[in-house]
Amino acid sequence: MKKTLFRLLLAGQVATVALSLSACSDLLEPTPVQQLPDDQAITDAGSARAATIGVYDRVQAYNQLNWPVLGFLPGENVRFNGTLNQFLQIDQNQLSADNVLITEAWTQMYQAVNGANNLIAALPGINDPLLPAAEKNQLLGEAHFLRALVYFDLGRGWGGVPLVLTPTRSKENGLGVRRATLAATYDHALADLTQAETLLPEAATRNRAVKAAARALRARLHLYRQQWAEAETYATQVIGSTNYRLVTPYRAFSTAPFLSQESVFELTFSNSDANSMWNNWFPSALGGQFNFQPVPAAIALLNDPAVGGSRSALLASTVIAGAPVTYGNLYSRSAQRDDPSYVLRLAEQYLIRAEARAQQGKLPEAIADLDAVRARAGVAATSATTADELLLAIENERRVEFAFEAHRWFDLVRTGRADDVLGVTDQRRWLFPIPFNDLVADPDLEQNPGY
C-alpha cells in the first residue's frame, strides 16, 4: 500500500490546520476532506484497483498511531512517558476539541469514507474487459467493508456522526450533513457489512477483506449493540472456519506477518511503507522514543503466570543508566518495520462469543470459550461460576489479551465501567470531542456535550 503511489484524494482543511495552526484562512475557505478531482475519476480496471488500495491506505493511516493510542492510552495499562500535550490529554482523559490526534484520526477516517464512497458510486458503471465481474464484486465488497469499519469506529469513538454516503467532489457537498444518531450510524455499518458479505470471496486472505472479516466485524458490532444472539452467531461462523486457529505460543500471532492463522484481518506494512509504532514503545537505548510505557500494574499482570502466562512475551527489558527498564514488545519487528496493525483476531472472536453466551445464560459454553483463550496462553481454567463472575473474568481476560491493542478504553465505555475502573465520572467524556476546526467549517455540525 504505497502511500506515494495511491494517494487519490486531497488532504482536507482539517489536516491542514492540524499541521499548521496558523493557517487561519483555511477556516474561512474549508476544503472538503478527500475531495476528488474529476481528472482522477475511477473509470477502468486500473483506476478501480488503485482506488481500492487508496482506501486501504487511509484505513491504514488512522490505525497506525492515532486509533490505537485512542484505544489503549485512556485505559489503565499504559501511560504516556513524555510531555506532549496531545498525548497527555488522552492519558489523563482530559481531551480538548483541538487535540491533534483527534483531528488527524477524524480526518483520516472521513478520507477513507470518501474513498469508499467513490468506489461504491463508480464500480457498477465500469465496463472494462480487464475487470471481470468476480473482481468487480470483490472490490465493491471491500469498499463496503472498509466503510463499515470506519463508521463503526467513528460511532464508538464519537457517538452518532455525519453519514456521508456520496462522493465529496466540491466544497459545498462536503458540508451541511447533520449528525446521525449512534443507532443510525451502527445501522449503516451493519447494512454495509451485510452487503459486503454477499460480495466478498470465501478466502483466507488476511490483509484484504474476505467474508470472514465481514463476519468478524459484524460479531463485534453486535457485541457493542448488546445483540447477544447475533454476536454469538457471527463469532461462531469465524471460529468454525478451518482458515483460522489460535496459535501457540501466544507471541507467534505477531512474529510472522501474513502467516499467522490467528489474524482475521490486518493492515500490513513493509520496509518501504513502514509501521513506525515500534518507535513509540522502544527505549532510546534501542533506537526508540519510549513514548508509551506499560504501567507497573499491567507489568505485574502480564508477568503473573496465573494471569498472563505466555503473554508475558508482550514485555521486554533492557538496562538504562544501570537500571532495568520494561517496555512494550508487541511491535517487535523494528528491523523490518513491517509490524502489521491487527484489526480482527480470532482470540477476540472467542471472547466475543464467551461474553455473548454469558449474557444469554449459556455459562458452560461461555466458560469453554474463555478457557480456550486462557489455555493458549498457558493459563489454568477460569474459576468463575456465576454469570457476574464470568463477565468480569472475560473483561479481565480482554485487558491482558489485548494489553497494547485498541480495545481497553472502548471495552470499559461499552460496558459502562469507565467510571468504576478508571474514575471517569463524567459520562459525557466517554465520547471524543468533534474536532474544533470541523465545527468552525460546518455550522451544521454539533459538538458532543461536555466539550
Domain boundary among 304, 319, 341: 341
Amino acid at 138: Q
Q: Is residue 252 part of a domain?
A: no
* Rounded Cα distance, 152 and 439, in Å: 21
φ, ψ of residue 264 to 5 degrees: the values are -90, -40
Per-residue pLDDT of the chain (451 residues; tens, 9 = 90+): 444 333 333 333 333 333 332 333 332 333 444 444 544 689 999 999 999 999 999 999 999 999 999 999 999 999 999 999 999 999 999 999 999 999 999 999 999 999 999 999 999 999 999 999 999 999 999 999 999 999 999 999 999 999 999 998 765 555 778 999 999 999 999 999 999 999 999 999 999 999 999 999 999 999 999 999 999 999 999 999 999 999 999 988 887 655 689 999 999 988 888 898 999 999 998 999 999 999 999 999 999 999 999 999 999 999 988 999 999 999 877 666 788 899 999 999 999 999 999 999 999 999 999 999 999 999 999 999 999 999 999 999 999 999 999 999 999 999 999 999 999 999 999 999 999 999 999 999 999 999 9
Residue 52 dihedral angles phi and psi, to the nearest 5°: -65, -45
- For residues 115 and 6, state if they share a domain: yes
Question: Residue 113 is part of which domain span?
Answer: 1-200
**Distance of alpha carbon 83 from alpha carbon 86, whole angstroms:** 9
Q: What is the CATH number for 112?
A: 1.25.40.390
At which of 177, 200, 223 does a domain end? 200
For 325, the 3-state DSSP assignment is strand
CB burial of residue 199 (10 Å; 0-12, 13-18, 19+):
buried
Please tell me the total count of domains within the chain: 2
Q: Is 284 found in the same domain as 152?
A: no
Query: Within a domain: residue 261?
Result: no
